[in-house]
Structure formats: structure tokens, C-alpha cells
Amino acid sequence: MIIDIKTLRQGVSHYQINETAEKLGIDIEDVKFTAPVLSTVAINNVPGQLTVSGRIKSGFETNCARCGCISKGNIDSTFEHKYVNGEAFPGGELNKDALDEEILSRDTLDFFDEIRQAVLLAVPEKVVCRENCKGICPGCNKNLNKDKCSCKPGVIKPFAELKNLLKDTKAKKGKM
Ligand SMILES: [Zn+2]
Ligand SMILES: [Zn+2]
């Protein structure tokens, strides 16, 4: 969705956008969106400066970082993006006090870009199915939320197996 800044009225304009993640060009590995991305966006257009602020909501599914089960997550976050008109500052120098501002050098603003960036920031890198998810036992590969494992606490299984293997080999050698 492209906004033509030249014809944008002064002051605040409100928009509501309801698009699927696919349409917005959002593709995050192992994340499946279960709802469209609902965005409410306001543009404040004052001479020389444009402020885009909004709120995004959606839902997604991904794998729990500990046990791998399908876990649901929600997105509900806000964003704000400031643009200054490049012509407002001679020579195109950006005001050093305003590092969060970007120079707006185009006549158009792509809303989908704004929303896409906000969604990418809002999706957490790691999701756990529950706070006390016990994860997968590295020894027996059992899901410890569902099954009890018989691994002895404090014993690192792969190492123990290696010891047994060495014993076996020695025993076999002894017989020879
Ligand atoms: Zn889990
Ligand atoms: Zn185990």
C-alpha cells in the first residue's frame, strides 16, 4: 500500500490495514501466521517531518525452543518511525540529535514496508510452550513434559555409553 506524500493532507491521517503476512511479504523461518496482520496506522504530516506510528496485532504458531511442540504466540506491539524531509536540511545533512529519524527522499511511503519491519521485530526469536517446559532429555530423547525418563540425574548419558563401550571392548580383548 503506497501513500503519496505530495497529496497527503497536513495533520494526522488514520488508516486500518488488514492483510495476511504473505501479502505483506513476511516470511519467517518456522513461523506460521494463524491470523492476518491487523494494523492501525497514523501518519502525522507536519511541514518537513512525517511521523508514522501504529499498532500491529496477529497470531502465529512456531515450535517450542525446548521441547519442539507446536506453540502459539501473539503479536501486539506498537511502532513509530520518523522521517524528515531531505530538503529541510541544506546539503542533506541529518540533524545529529535525531538519530531515529530517516531522510525521506521519496515522494511515496510504503505502508507494507513499515508493517513488515514492525512484525519482524515483534516476533520473538525463541518461544517456549510454557514457562516451565522441561524440554527434551538429551540422554533418551523423551519429551520430559509427557514422559518420565530413566536417565540417572547427574549422569551424562553419551559419556556413560562411551565408558560401557570401552569396557566391552576391553572385555572382548581379554577373552581373545
Ligand atoms: Zn516446550
Ligand atoms: Zn532421559
User: For the residues of 111-175, what is the DSSP string, one character each?
Assistant: HHHHHHHHHHHHS-S---SSTT---B-TTT--BTTT----PPTT--HHHHHHHHHHHHHHHHHHH
Of 162, 159, 156, residue with least CA distance to 170: 162
As a residue count, the chain comes to: 176
Residue 131 within a domain = no
Residue 55 CA to ligand 1 centre (angstroms): 29
104 and 45 assigned to the same domain: yes
Residue 24 Cα to ligand 1 midpoint, Å, equals 29
My answer on whether 105 and 140 are in the same domain is no
What pTM was computed for the model?
Answer: 0.73
For the chain, the farthest-separated pair of C-alpha atoms sits apart, in whole angstroms, at: 93
106 lies in the same domain as 146:
no
Q: In the predicted model, is pLDDT for residue 152 greater than 80?
A: no
146 inside domain: yes
Q: What is the pLDDT of residues 19-38, one digit of tens each?
A: 999 999 999 999 999 999 99
Average pLDDT (128-153) is 91
Q: d(Cα 13, Cα 31) in Å, to the nearest integer?
A: 32
Total structural domains within the chain:
2
Of the listed ligands, the closest to the CA of 144 is 2
Classify residue 167 as exposed, middle or buried by CB count within 10 Å of its CB (0-12, 13-18, 19+). exposed
Residue 62 alpha carbon to ligand 2 centre in Å: 24
The β-bridge partners of 88 are: none
| Cβ pair 93, 154 in contact under 8 A | no
Q: How far is the CA of 162 from the centre of ligand 1 (A)?
A: 29
What pLDDT score was predicted for residue 155?
55
- Let me know whether 8 and 64 are in one domain: yes
Domain enclosing residue 157, as ranges: 136-176
129 CA distance to ligand 1 middle (Å):
4
Tell me if 3 sits within 8 A of 13, measured CB to CB. Answer: no
Q: What pLDDT score does 86 carry?
A: 60
| pLDDT at residue number 38 | 98
**CA 88 – CA 146 distance, rounded (Å):** 62
Question: Same structural domain for residues 43 and 83?
Answer: yes
Q: Tens of pLDDT along 38-59? A: 999 999 999 888 999 999 999 9
Give the ligand whose atoms come closest to the C-alpha of residue 130.
Answer: 1
- Residue 130 forms part of a structural domain: no
Angle at the Cα of 48 (from 54 to 41), degrees rounded to 5?
A: 10
Ligand nearest to the CA of 138: 2
Same domain, 15 and 50: yes
**108/33 same-domain check:** yes
Q: How far is the CA of 68 from the centre of ligand 2 (A)?
A: 16
